[in-house]
Chains A and B, each alone.
Chain A
Amino acid sequence: MLRLPAFEFRPVRSVEDAAALLSEYGSDALPVAGGTDLYANMKLGLFTPRVVVGLRSIAELRRMHFDPAHGLRLGALCSLDSIARDPAVLLHYPALATAAAMVGTPEIRSMGTIGGNLCLETRCTYYNQSADWRKALGYCLKRDGDLCRVALHSPTCKAINASDTAPVMQAYDARISLVGPHGARVVAARDFFSNDGAHATVRQSDEILAEIALPPPPRGARSSYRKLRLRNAFDFPLLGVAVAVATNEAGACTQARVLLGAVGSAPIEVEGAGALLLGSHFAAATLADAAEEVFRAGKPLENANASLLYRKRMLRVLAQRALEDVAAPLR
């Protein structure tokens, strides 16, 4: 039977108390919100904290508020299910609603939080295995060992960021608030994810992800998220493509961001694809060029449960579909 390793559970009611505890125990403590990722990883022996700080009862982090002037503010403890169903999110940030609705299963979405999904541990076909499995074959760079087992000559860990909401947050240019024992700081989503499999984000061990702020939707905003997975019922992404655009009165593209999830250790922006869309009227040929650019520039790490060639080819397909999603109502 898989049981959790022993730890002390310390539920808190405020962000300050959480940061103080995390600071006191340093690397011996980990914060937990929904627990769907952390507890599963702990059962596999990937984390063995002495203290687990329970964030669930911090009421202020459950708030969700939208207004057209300031945009959307999401407390980190908002469940993925509540985000996927929220009328303002569905209307103004549809790619976020889609991505949240595609995480895990109904149970996982009702337990799992947006903060947790953004801090999701990077995943790897080698690392996400039982302790006995990893012990038998030898440990790896990400945990207990000194070499990467999926890319033997890599000096860094090549685990994949498999968060569905991460590329979407970057496409919307979200801002992420982190609160530590010495105060708060705000980090742009594009700077929040570190492209190093061993450390999914720049969050320090004594910091709490408190809130996510999404800017108001620009004029003519359209967005989409497309996901590739082995089982549509329930799976981490093999690929994710998030597209967010804005248009002027004439219907020309004034802003475009194309982000890839589950390709690297962080979401990857394909700036060339965004540049092709700028100024365009989303003609079929433009979309095809942009999808081709995604195919050319996207370099999936060979570290997921599908072949590299398949994922590479599907990048073009997924990008084309996401681009058509945003273009269709504009044509």
Chain B
Amino acid sequence: MSAAPSKMLATLNVNGRDVTLAFLPHATLLEVLREELRLTGTKHGCELGQCGACTVLVDGAPVLSCLTLAADTIDRPITSVEGIAVADALHPVQRAFLDLGAAQCGYCTPGFIVAAVHLLERTTSPSETEIREALAGHLCRCTGYTKIVEAVALAGQRMRATTHG
């Protein structure tokens, strides 16, 4: 066996801020967010890319942070669920999840929120099919999918009202 690998020093852009920190070259973005940056909103689920709980945005696209190396995200903007709200104002998706009770145990919620925000950035009037397809990679073991789909539609409605109102 070779000697224990040493940490690397790098700067990541997380939720709009540059943070310089040390992490192992083979650490996943999920591990670095949670264990080094203490951003524990992003959840450990299956850790094999099957559940969506660890989803964050990198370069504005949804990625599974359990299958992404932190070292491969240097110089790329990263948005975790903590960066979705603007200052103290909840994002319309978060507001709608709250209003409709679209969370039961809440473990899958951060992943759903991030994926839904990405969908509504592309279109604020998605069909139910489009919503379900955009969320297809997310498992809710409480099986509360109906409320989640409704909340995303409601958030889109409210975002349209704000834009056109």
Contacts and interface: CB of A to CB of B under 8 A. Distances in A.
Interface string A29-64: 000000110011001100000101010100000000
Interface string B44-75: 10011110100100000111100111011000
Interface stretch (B83-91, B130-138, B153-161): B130-138
A104 B68 CA distance: 16
Interface string B111-149: 000010000000000000000111011100000000000
B165 interface: no
B47 A1 contact: yes
Contacts of A107: 49, 52, 55, 62-64, 115, 137
Contacts of A5: 26
B28 interface: yes
Residue in B48, B55, B71 whose Cβ sees the most chain A Cβ within 10 Å: B48
A6 B24 contact: yes
A233 interface: yes
Interface string A110-138: 11000000000000000000000000000
Interface residues of A, number: 30
A39 B70 CA distance: 13
A44 B44 CA distance: 16
Contacts of A44: 48
A231 to B, nearest CB: 9
B47 A43 contact: yes
Nearest to B137: A105
B5 interface: yes
Contacts of B68: 35, 39, 111
Nearest to A39: B67
B5 A6 contact: yes
Given A56-B72, A111-B64, A234-B50, 6 more contacts: A2-B47, A6-B26, A40-B49, A106-B137, A110-B62, A110-B63
Interface of A: 1-9, 11, 35-36, 39-40, 43-44, 50, 52, 54, 56, 81, 104-108, 110-111, 233-234
18 contacts: A1-B47, A2-B48, A6-B26, A8-B25, A9-B25, A9-B26, A35-B67, A35-B72, A36-B67, A40-B49, A43-B48, A54-B72, A105-B136, A106-B136, A107-B62, A107-B137, A108-B137, A111-B63
